């Protein structure tokens, strides 16, 4: 069994700690932004489809009269 001990200065320790926290926050923000953009794009696609079906329904109802 081999045990390794890493000797690092306090500055290196805090730098590594801040870097890990920063990466975690960036990943979380990226995931949240992706989810929001998917919802945003999906909302506008759904709105477009509703308007398209509404216009289609109006043309069909005018044609049948």
Structure tokens at 36: 């929001």
Length of the chain as a residue count: 65
Residue 58 belongs to a domain: yes
- Return averaged pLDDT per consecutive 10 residues of the chain, 65 residues in all: 88 95 97 98 97 95 81
Residue 36 domain-assigned (yes or no): yes
Per the domain annotation, does 2 fall within a domain? no
Domain hosting 23: range is 8-65
pLDDT of residue 6: 84
Considering the domain boundaries, does residue 3 fall inside one? no
**pTM (two decimals):** 0.62
């Amino acid at each position: 069994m081999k045990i390794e001990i890493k000797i690092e200065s306090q500055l290196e320790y805090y730098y590594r700690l801040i870097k890990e926290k920063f990466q975690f926050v960036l990943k979380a923000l990226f995931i949240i932004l992706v989810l929001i953009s998917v919802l945003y794009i999906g909302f506008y696609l759904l709105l477009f489809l509703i308007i398209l079906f509404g216009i289609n329904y109006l043309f069909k109802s005018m044609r049948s009269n």
